[in-house]
Amino acid sequence: MNKKRLVVIGGGAAGFFCAINAAAFNHALEIIIIEKTTKLLSKVKVSGGGRCNVTHSCFSIAEMIKNYPRGENFVKKAFHQFFTTDTINWFGKRSVQLKTEVDGRMFPVTNSSQTVIDCLMKEVNNRSIQILMNREVKKLSMVNDQWSIEFANEEKIIADFVCVASGGFAKTIQFNWLKELGHTIEEPIPSLFTFNIPADPIKELMGISVEKAIVKITGTKFSQQGPMLITHWGLSGPAVLKLSAFAARELHKVNYDFKIAVNWLPGYNEQTLREKFSLLRNELAPQKIVNRNPFFLPQRLWEYFLQQSTIDQNIRWADLPAKQQNILIKILCAQEFDVKGKTTFKEEFVTAGGIKLNEIDVNTMQSKMVPNLFFAGEVMDVDGITGGFNFQHAWTSGWVAGKAIGEMT
Ligand SMILES: Cc1cc2nc3c(=O)[nH]c(=O)nc-3n(C[C@H](O)[C@H](O)[C@H](O)COP(=O)(O)OP(=O)(O)OC[C@H]3O[C@@H](n4cnc5c(N)ncnc54)[C@H](O)[C@@H]3O)c2cc1C
């Protein structure tokens, strides 16, 4: 009997994981990975600043899924099959030990993404998985119950199963070869970016960060709390990146021209801060307001707030005029900024959008539209925030697809 053949399109994290695990579940499968470039696992290589943030130290599915602005319910079901503990064990069994950093990100103990690449390459070689590079798949079609896979150079190969693990594409047109199979594409748009604030002097404070702030997009329900960093262009840091991811579609619609309100003192609202100011005026009465910053904000930021509130720096707390006090309270609790444009975060971007999830069976990653067609990784309409969530989705979906294909034959 002829061997069944699986062709995996894409030599990235999801494609490798699908191929390796399909081989592990079925030794009789012939497996070929097709990669359009001359490099394999190129994003794994550069990820996490060259250290590869493999996954996140989170062991509750309910908590984990909160980090996926799109695909939350889809990954929830998939994580029941392959979760963070499985990733840690999978790599651990192959001598790739992971360590956890204070913010929960997990990296190889070697601090090198090459360790992950070496492990995946070793698995591929040991399992005799073939790799064809420099081949861009242009067309997929069914011919006599088999897949015909056509490359840009017009070469063709035949397969019984295909797993598309081609990553995200920036433009809808790049999905056309998948659309032709009957799939619907959620328009790809950028996620994970920082906010440009060209008209505000706050940029002069670049490099200053606060441990906790709340950033809210005015007129929407989108709000995030966390560390925030002032940059040369505007605002960045985990609170801003997370907000950019969760509001990616809405911000795209308004062409990245919107207003935000920042609460620099998340423990307070206008009412409670007003009460605090009444106490401070007594407690700190003889002290100069500029020298006595009671909220432990960076001193330069405090001086900027005083300047923005037109407060004379030599004034004492006791003499703070009511009008200026009100402006300062408003700035501390809800400073408004006009955002005009975005900046990519350290080239670390993911695309929101891709194959519509209701067209994929989450238990197998198989297409509901076409038999023997599977998906893995970022090509689907799933994306996570930074922290190892995108790779976890790549491992999970690759494993689920690989297992399903392995068990089908
Ligand atoms: C700079 C950077 C840093 C990142 N850091 C992290 C991190 O630390 N942690 C984290 O969780 N996530 C990180 N991410 C996101 C993460 O890298 C991706 O989510 C993940 O790589 C997606 O894996 P994938 O296999 O689905 O797609 P990809 O890694 O994009 O792989 C897809 C492959 O398919 C190939 N391909 C595409 N079309 C075709 C075709 N038609 N024919 C043949 N081959 C094709 C591509 O060339 C590519 O090699 C980072 C992303 C970037 C850009």
Residue percentage of the chain with pLDDT more than 70: 99
Residue 347's pLDDT is 60
Residue 349's pLDDT is 67
Taking all residues of the chain, what is their mean pLDDT, rounded to a whole number?
95
Are residues 365 and 290 located together in one domain of the fold? no
Top mutation candidate among 7, 43, 138 for ligand 1, by most atoms within 8 Å of CB = 43
Read off the pTM: 0.93
Residue percentage of the chain with pLDDT more than 90: 93
Are residues 177 and 233 located together in one domain of the fold? no
Give the number of the atom of ligand 1 that is nearest the alpha carbon of residue 389: 11
Query: What's the Cα-to-Cα distance from 66 to each of 70, 79, 383, rounded to whole Å?
Result: 10, 13, 11
Determine the distance separating the centroid of ligand 1 and the alpha carbon of 368, expressed in angstroms: 24
> Given the structure tokens 């006791």, which residue do they identify?
318
Check if 132 has its Cβ closer than 6 Å to any atom of ligand 1.
no
Rounded mean pLDDT, 300-327: 95
Spatial CB neighbours of 154, under 8 Å, sequence gap ≥ 6: none
63: three-class secondary structure by DSSP: helix
Determine the distance separating the centroid of ligand 1 and the alpha carbon of 120, expressed in angstroms: 15
- What's the pLDDT tens digit per position in 116-168? 999 999 999 999 999 999 999 999 999 999 999 999 998 999 999 999 999 99
The domain boundary, picked from 347, 379, 400, lies at: 347
Give the number of the atom of ligand 1 that is nearest the alpha carbon of residue 10: 34
Nearest Cα neighbor of 248 from 197, 186, 203, 337 is 186
Q: In terms of residue numbers, what domain contains 269?
A: 193-347
Are residues 400 and 384 located together in one domain of the fold? yes
Structural domain tally of the chain?
Answer: 2
pLDDT at 1 over 60: no
Strand order from edge to edge, sheet including 360-361:
130-132, 30-34, 5-9, 161-164, 373-375, 366-367, 360-361
Residue 348's pLDDT is 58
Residue with CA at minimum distance from ligand 1 atom 37: 166
Determine the distance separating the centroid of ligand 1 and the alpha carbon of 382, expressed in angstroms: 13
Residue 88's pLDDT is 98
Are residues 13 and 154 located together in one domain of the fold? yes
Residue with CA at minimum distance from ligand 1 atom 12: 390
Q: State the pLDDT confidence band at 350, using cuts at 50, 70 and 90.
A: confident
Determine the distance separating the centroid of ligand 1 and the alpha carbon of 232, expressed in angstroms: 28
Residue 409's pLDDT is 74
- What's the pLDDT tens digit per position in 206-239? 999 999 999 999 999 999 999 999 999 999 999 9
Residue with CA at minimum distance from ligand 1 atom 31: 12
